[in-house]
């Protein structure tokens, strides 16, 4: 086995690990938005300990191994690679902002006695779905770019379409799920009416 083949293998495994981490993020977000008790929020805020580190580490390995592969292929002048790097720079801030919001939820959970309106608004934050939808769509688009290796126009079109599909999927999911009220809020309203 050549070193190039080994790096390519590591690159592919890191991509699989990244998508596994994103799958757990999808599950976690789905469960957090439907949590009716604080214990459920505690459980689903980090379903797999260290998952953010796995995602970040996988992304770093994908990037570094990708740079090595691009150098070996003399691909830095190709349009698809430049658009891929720009797409990674596009989604990086989304991941950072999502991490901050999840840490804020974790802090609120540590101090809360139950699911209050502030915690519920953090759990229902539309940005979490938008960020996740866009990141998944752009990563899928990057895979398409790596396989097809298109020119400038097609590469930009792929990433632009993926961003639009990510936004659209988040919007459709937000519309379908509707807004949930705080657990116990309806009970409190019923007591005050009677």
CA 94 from centre of chain: 8
In this structure, of 55-64, 66-75, 99-108, 154-163, the range with the lowest mean pLDDT score is 99-108
d(CA 2, CA 133) in angstroms, rounded, equals 37
Per DSSP, 129 falls in state H
**HSE, side-chain direction, 13 A CA sphere, residue 107:** 8
Write down the pLDDT at residue 185.
41
Give the pLDDT band of residue 109 (cuts 50, 70, 90): confident
Q: What is the pTM of this model?
A: 0.83
Write down the pLDDT at residue 175.
67
**What value does the mean pLDDT of the chain take?**
86
Torsion of CA 115, 116, 119, 122, to 10 degrees: 110
What CA–CA distances, in Å, run from 69 to 22, 55, 82, 173? 24, 21, 14, 37
Give the pLDDT band of residue 176 (cuts 50, 70, 90): low
């Amino acid at each position: 086995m050549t070193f190039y083949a080994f790096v390519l293998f590591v690159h592919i495994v890191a991509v699989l690990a990244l998508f596994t981490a994103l799958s757990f993020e999808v599950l976690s977000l789905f469960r957090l938005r439907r949590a009716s008790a604080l214990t459920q929020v505690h459980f689903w805020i980090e379903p797999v300990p260290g998952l953010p580190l796995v995602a970040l580490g996988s992304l770093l390995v994908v990037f570094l191994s990708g740079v090595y592969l691009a150098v070996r292929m003399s691909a830095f002048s190709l349009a698809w690679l430049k658009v891929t790097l720009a797409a990674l720079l596009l989604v990086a801030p989304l991941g950072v902002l999502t991490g901050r919001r999840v840490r804020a939820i974790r802090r609120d959970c540590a101090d809360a006695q139950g699911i209050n309106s502030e915690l519920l608004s953090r759990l229902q934050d539309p940005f979490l779905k938008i960020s996740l939808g866009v990141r998944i769509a752009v990563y899928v688009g990057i895979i398409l770019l790596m396989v097809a290796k298109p020119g400038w126009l097609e590469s930009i079109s792929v990433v632009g379409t993926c961003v639009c599909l990510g936004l659209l999927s988040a919007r459709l999911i937000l519309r379908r799920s509707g807004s949930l009220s705080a657990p116990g809020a309806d009970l409190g309203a019923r007591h005050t009416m009677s």
